[in-house]
Structure 1
Amino acid sequence: MKVSIIGSGYVGSVSAACFAELGHEVICIDIDEEKVKQINAGVAPIWEEGLDELLARHTQKTLIATSDYDYAVANSDASFICVGTPSGEDGGIDLSIVKAASASLGRAIAKKEHYHVVVVKSTVVPETTEKVVLPILEEYSGKKAGRDFGVVMNPEFLREGKAVYDFMHPDKIVVGAIDQRSFFVVSELYRKLDRPVTHTNPRTAEMIKYVNNSFLATKISFANEVGNICKQLGIDTYEVMDAVGTDFRIERQFLNCGAGFGGSCFPKDVKALIGKARDMGYAPQLLQSVVDINNRQPLKMVELLREKISDMKGDMKGKRIAVLGLAFKNDTDDIRESRSIPVIEELLRLGADIAAYDPMAEESMKKLFKDVTYCKSASDALTEAHGCLIMTEWNEFRNLDKEFGLMASRVVIDGRHLINPEKLSTQIDYQGICW
C-alpha cells in the first residue's frame, strides 16, 4: 500500500521506516526543509536504535520525503498524522500542530477523486479525532467523512530507544475507525505483523492509549511511595517488589523504585487525562497523586545528599556535585521531563557547582542549563566532587568503581538502583533513594 506520514519526530520517522520495512511505499511530509533533505539522504532526524539502518535500506527506493501535501496525498492511500501534542501550562495538550496538519490534509483531499484515509497517530485526548480533526477535514476538503474519506485513530505504544523493535513486535494494534472501509485499510497496513487488530471507535482508541500509559505511570509512583515507606523501616523495597511481582495479576515490570518517570509520554499523558476529567467536572484524585509523587521524588535525592554532608551543615554553596545521567532514560538523548531537570534546578538554587555527564543527552541539556560543567566521562564529572547523584540507568554507570576514588568526598546517592556498594573495591558513603 501507499502511505504518507506527517511529522518526522519519534513516532513519524519510526512509523515511516517501519512501514517501508513492511513493504509499503512511504512518503514523509514535513514543513522543515532541512528534515526533508536529511531523510532523503537516508539520515534519521532523531536517534533511535535501528532507525538509521532502516532509512539507509529504504530511502529513495520505497521511502521519500517532501514538504508538498498535495503530492503526498495524491500518491498515497492513507495519511498518518504523527505531529507533536505538547503540554500546555494547565496540563492540557496543545492541538495547534494537529489542527494545522488536518487543515493541510483537508485542502489536499479536496483535490483528490479517490477515497483517502486520515489516521491520527499523535496522542490526543478522547473525542479529539471525532470533534476536532474530523470537522477540520470536512471543512477544508468540502467532503463528507465516512463517505468521501475515512478517519481513524491508531495510537502508538512505542518506547523511546526501543521504538523500532516495538513497532515490529507490538503488544497490541488498536484501530479506532469511523467506518468499516477505513478499518480495513489501516488493518491491512499491519497484516505482516503477528498480532491481532483491536477494532473500536476513535474515542475508545484514544482512551486506550491514555489508560495504558497512566496505569504504567501509576505502578511507578506506587512503587516509589512504597519504597519511601520501606526506607524508613529499613526494608529492602526491591526484595518486596520481587516477591509481589510474582503475582500474575500484578507482574514485576514498572515496580522499580527510584527517582521517578519522565519522557514525552507518561507525564504528559497523565496530566492530559487529568485535565480531560476536570473539564467534565470529575476530580481524578488517584491520577493527581501519581503526578504529585513523581514531582516530589527526584528532590529526595537532594535531601539525602544534604543529610550526608551534614558536617558541612548541608551547605551546598560552592560544592562540586556530579550528576550522572541527563536523559530521562537510558538508550535515548531525550531529556523531556527528565528527573535530572528538577534536581539540577534545586542544586543550582542551593549554589552548588554541577559537573554533569551523559553519554548522549549533553547537547539537549545545554539548551536548558548554561551554568553547568558538562563532562566527557563519568570520571571527569566525579573528579574532586563532594557528592554524586545517579539519575539515569545507563549500563556504564553500573560498572563504576575506582572512579569514585577520584571524589573529594565519596557520597553517592543512587536514584536508579545501579550500584552495589558491597561489591566495590572503592569504599563509598552510599545511599539509595528508596533502599
Structure 2
Amino acid sequence: MKIAVIGTGYVGLVSGVCFAHKGNQVMCVDQDRNKIAFLNEGHVPIHEPGLQELMKECMERSLIHFTTDLKNAVQFADLIMIAVGTPPLPSGEADLSFIENVACELAKSMNGHKIIVIKSTVPVGTNHRIQRLIAHLSPFQFQIASVPEFLREGSAVKDTLLPDRVIIGVEDEHTGYTLKELYSPYSEQIMITDIRSAEMIKYASNAFLATKISFINEIANICEKVGADVTQVSKGMGLDNRIGAAFLNAGIGYGGSCFPKDTQALIQIAGNENYNFKLLKAVVEVNNDQRFGIIRKIEQAIGKISGKCIAIWGLAFKPNTDDVRESPAIDIVRTLIQLGGTIKVYDPIAMRNFKKVLDAPSITWCESSLEAVDQADAVCLLTEWEEFRKMDLSTVFARMKSGILIDGRNLFTPEQADAAGLEYYSIGRVVNQSSLRA
C-alpha cells in the first residue's frame, strides 16, 4: 500500500518506518526542513532502540522517503496518516490547531479517493470534526478512520511491530476491512469499532494506567506509616489476574508526553460535558505531589538542603529514552535549587534535553554516575536505568561525603544498600541503615 505519514515525531516516524518494514511504500512528511534533511541523511532525531537500524534498512530498500512536500505525498498515497502533535493548552484541552492546519492543506492537495487515518491522540468527536473540514474543502470522496497509538517510548518499535492490540474506528465495513488487512501482519488482536469509541479507548487506557500508578503510590505512602513493604504488597496484588502486575511499581510518579497530557485532556473532555471526573482529578493530584516526597526524604536524611551537595541519577521520565517532557526530575531539581542545594546531575542520554528545560549555575553536568556522587551528601535515583542497577554501591559509598541513597524507583534492595554501608531511603519501605541495624 502507498502510505503518507504526516508528522515525524515519535508516533509518525516509528509508524512510517514500521509500515515500510512490512513492504509498504511510505512517504513521511514534515514542515521542519532541518529534520527532513537529517532523516534523509539516515539519522533519527530521537533516541529509540532499534529505530535507526530499521530505518536504514527501509531506506536501502527504497521503501521510505522523507519530504517537506505535503501535496506530493498526499497525491502519491492511497492512505494518509495524520500523526502531528496535540499538545495541551493552558486549560488542559488538547491543542487541535496543528491537526486542523494539516487537514486544510491535505484537503486542498487531494487528487482522488483517499483513506484518512488520524493517529494523533484527539478528543472524542475530533475525527468527525476533521471529516467535516476536509469535506468542505475537497470535492473528492474519502473515508475517515481513527487508529489510536499505544506505543511506549523506549520500546516503540517493538510496540508497533508486535502490539498488544490494534483499535480501528471506522464508519463503513470496506474501510475497516482495508485497515484490518494493513495491520494484520502486526497483530491478530484487531478490534473494529465506531470512531468515537476508538477515540475514547485511547484516553481511557492511559487514564486507567495512570490511575494504577497513583494508586500504588498512595499504598506506598501508607506502607511507610504502618511498616509494610510496598514491593511485597504490589507483588501479592499482581498475582491476582483481575489486577495484574503491570504499572504497580511504586516510585516518584508518571511523566512523559502521554499520561500527564491525556489525563488532563480527559478531565477537560468530561468537564465540557458537565461531568466532574473526581477520580481522575485525584489521580493527577496524587501524581503531582508524589515527586516531592523525594525532597521530604532528603530533608529527613540530611536536614536543611541549603549548602548541601545532592547528586541526581537519571533525568529522563523513564529509561531507554532521552525524553524529559513532564519528567519528575524537573520539579525535583528545581526545588532543590530553590532550597539552596548544589546539584550534580547525570543521565546516560537525556542531559542535553534536560538542559534545554532547566539550567542553572548551581547545576554541574557530570559525565558519569560516579563523577556525580563525588563528595555528595546524598544521591537521588530518579530514573531506573540499567546502568545504575549494575553500580557497585560500595564504590559509590566510598566516593560520597555522606553515604545517603534516596531510591526513587526502588531499584535496589535494602540488603544491597546495607552491605555497601549506605543509609538507604526508598518508596513505601521503612528501611534505612539505622533501622536495619537496630
Q: TM-score scaled by structure 2?
A: 0.94
Shift of 1:89: 1.4
Partners of 1:72 and 1:384 lie apart in 2 by 56
Describe the SS at the equivalent of 2:357: coil
Q: 1:149 to 1:384 in 2, by over 3 A?
A: same
Deviates more, 1:67-76 or 1:10-19: 67-76
Partners of 1:89 and 1:434 lie apart in 2 by 33
Partners of 1:33 and 1:337 lie apart in 2 by 27
Question: Could you tell me which of 398, 402, 415 is aligned with 2:389?
Answer: 398
Look up the equivalent residue of 1:97 and give its one-letter code: F
- Say if 2:314 is the partner of 1:317: no
Residues 8 and 45 in structure 1, CA contact (< 8 A), matched pair in contact too: no
Residue in structure 1 matched with residue 95 of structure 2 by the alignment: 94
Describe the SS at the equivalent of 1:253: coil
- Say if 2:420 is the partner of 1:431: no
Describe the SS at the equivalent of 2:245: coil
Residue in structure 2 matched with residue 375 of structure 1 by the alignment: 366
Partners of 2:300 and 2:178 lie apart in 1 by 60
Shift of 1:230: 0.6
Look up the equivalent residue of 1:188 and give its one-letter code: E
Shift of 1:96: 1.1
Question: Could you tell me which of 301, 304, 311 is aligned with 1:308?
Answer: 301
Describe the SS at the equivalent of 1:367: helix
Shift of 1:303: 0.5
Look up the equivalent residue of 2:91 and give its one-letter code: D
Partners of 2:98 and 2:298 lie apart in 1 by 42
Residue in structure 2 matched with residue 117 of structure 1 by the alignment: 115
Partners of 1:38 and 1:428 lie apart in 2 by 46
Residue in structure 1 matched with residue 38 of structure 2 by the alignment: 38
Residues 319 and 383 in structure 2, CA contact (< 8 A), matched pair in contact too: yes
Q: TM-score scaled by structure 1?
A: 0.95
Question: Could you tell me which of 261, 274, 286 is aligned with 1:281?
Answer: 274
Residue in structure 2 matched with residue 344 of structure 1 by the alignment: 333
For residues 405-428 of structure 1, the C-alpha deviation after alignment (integer angstroms, 9 at most, x for no partner) is 211111111110112242254201
Shift of 1:319: 1.2
Residues 160 and 186 in structure 2, CA contact (< 8 A), matched pair in contact too: no
Partners of 1:70 and 1:193 lie apart in 2 by 29
Question: Could you tell me which of 365, 377, 380 is aligned with 1:386?
Answer: 377
Residue in structure 1 matched with residue 436 of structure 2 by the alignment: none
Partners of 2:398 and 2:120 lie apart in 1 by 47
Partners of 1:387 and 1:191 lie apart in 2 by 51
For residues 16-55 of structure 1, the C-alpha deviation after alignment (integer angstroms, 9 at most, x for no partner) is 0000011100000111111212222222221111110111
Partners of 2:94 and 2:136 lie apart in 1 by 23
Question: Could you tell me which of 127, 143, 148 is aligned with 1:129?
Answer: 127
Partners of 2:228 and 2:414 lie apart in 1 by 17
Residues 39 and 59 in structure 1, CA contact (< 8 A), matched pair in contact too: no
Look up the equivalent residue of 1:258 and give its one-letter code: G
For residues 111-148 of structure 1, the C-alpha deviation after alignment (integer angstroms, 9 at most, x for no partner) is x13x10111000011111112x11221122244xxxx1
Describe the SS at the equivalent of 1:255: coil
Residues 357 and 381 in structure 1, CA contact (< 8 A), matched pair in contact too: yes
Partners of 1:88 and 1:410 lie apart in 2 by 43
Deviates more, 1:189-198 or 1:73-82: 189-198
Partners of 2:161 and 2:390 lie apart in 1 by 32
Residues 41 and 59 in structure 1, CA contact (< 8 A), matched pair in contact too: no
Partners of 2:72 and 2:273 lie apart in 1 by 41
Look up the equivalent residue of 1:204 and give its one-letter code: S
Residues 421 and 428 in structure 1, CA contact (< 8 A), matched pair in contact too: no
The number of residues matched between the two structures is 423
Shift of 1:70: 1.5
Note the 1:220-369 alignment, pairs <5 A: 220-309=213-302, 314-369=303-358
Unaligned stretches of 5+ in structure 1? none
Note the 1:23-62 alignment, pairs <5 A: 23-59=23-59, 61-62=62-63
Partners of 2:121 and 2:74 lie apart in 1 by 22
Query: What percentage of aligned pairs have identical amino acids?
Result: 41
Partners of 2:123 and 2:404 lie apart in 1 by 44
Residue in structure 2 matched with residue 141 of structure 1 by the alignment: 138
Residue in structure 1 matched with residue 64 of structure 2 by the alignment: 63
Residues 228 and 428 in structure 2, CA contact (< 8 A), matched pair in contact too: no
Shift of 1:161: 0.7
For residues 325-374 of structure 1, the C-alpha deviation after alignment (integer angstroms, 9 at most, x for no partner) is 10000000000111111101111110111111100100000011221211
Describe the SS at the equivalent of 1:119: strand
For residues 77-130 of structure 1, the C-alpha deviation after alignment (integer angstroms, 9 at most, x for no partner) is 011111111111121111111111111111111xx13x1011100001111111
Partners of 1:244 and 1:31 lie apart in 2 by 48
Residue in structure 1 matched with residue 432 of structure 2 by the alignment: none
Residues 73 and 105 in structure 1, CA contact (< 8 A), matched pair in contact too: yes
Partners of 1:334 and 1:160 lie apart in 2 by 8
Residues 413 and 432 in structure 1, CA contact (< 8 A), matched pair in contact too: yes
For residues 210-241 of structure 1, the C-alpha deviation after alignment (integer angstroms, 9 at most, x for no partner) is 11111111001000001100111111111111
Shift of 1:399: 2.3
Describe the SS at the equivalent of 1:198: strand
Partners of 2:196 and 2:331 lie apart in 1 by 34
Look up the equivalent residue of 2:370 and give its one-letter code: S
Residues 302 and 347 in structure 1, CA contact (< 8 A), matched pair in contact too: yes
Look up the equivalent residue of 2:337 and give its one-letter code: L
Deviates more, 1:422-431 or 1:212-221: 422-431
The alignment's C-alpha RMSD in Å is 1.2
Residues 323 and 357 in structure 1, CA contact (< 8 A), matched pair in contact too: yes
Residues 166 and 187 in structure 2, CA contact (< 8 A), matched pair in contact too: no
Partners of 2:422 and 2:100 lie apart in 1 by 54
For residues 380-419 of structure 1, the C-alpha deviation after alignment (integer angstroms, 9 at most, x for no partner) is 1101111111100101111221123211111111110112
